[in-house]
Amino acid sequence: MAMLRSPQSQAGIMNFYDAQTPGPKFDPKIVLAVIVVFALLIIVINHFTIA
């Protein structure tokens, strides 16, 4: 039997994810840039250490 979903329950989920929480706020572009730089650094280090 399929579960019925009401708009009220879906609104509760959205409120949960939209709630403001304490902690650092990072711009997603900065996080992505840090990940890319870190990955490139690992690739370069790996390239020069394996002979």
pLDDT score of 4: 55
- Where exactly are the structural domains of the chain? 26-51
Angle at 25 between CA 19 and CA 29, to 5 degrees: 115
- pLDDT, tens digit (0-9, with 9 covering 90-100), for 1-40: 555 555 555 555 555 556 677 888 889 999 999 999 999 9
Prediction pTM value: 0.54
Cα Rg, the chain, nearest whole Å: 21
User: How many angstroms separate the CA atoms of 46 and 39, rounded?
Assistant: 11
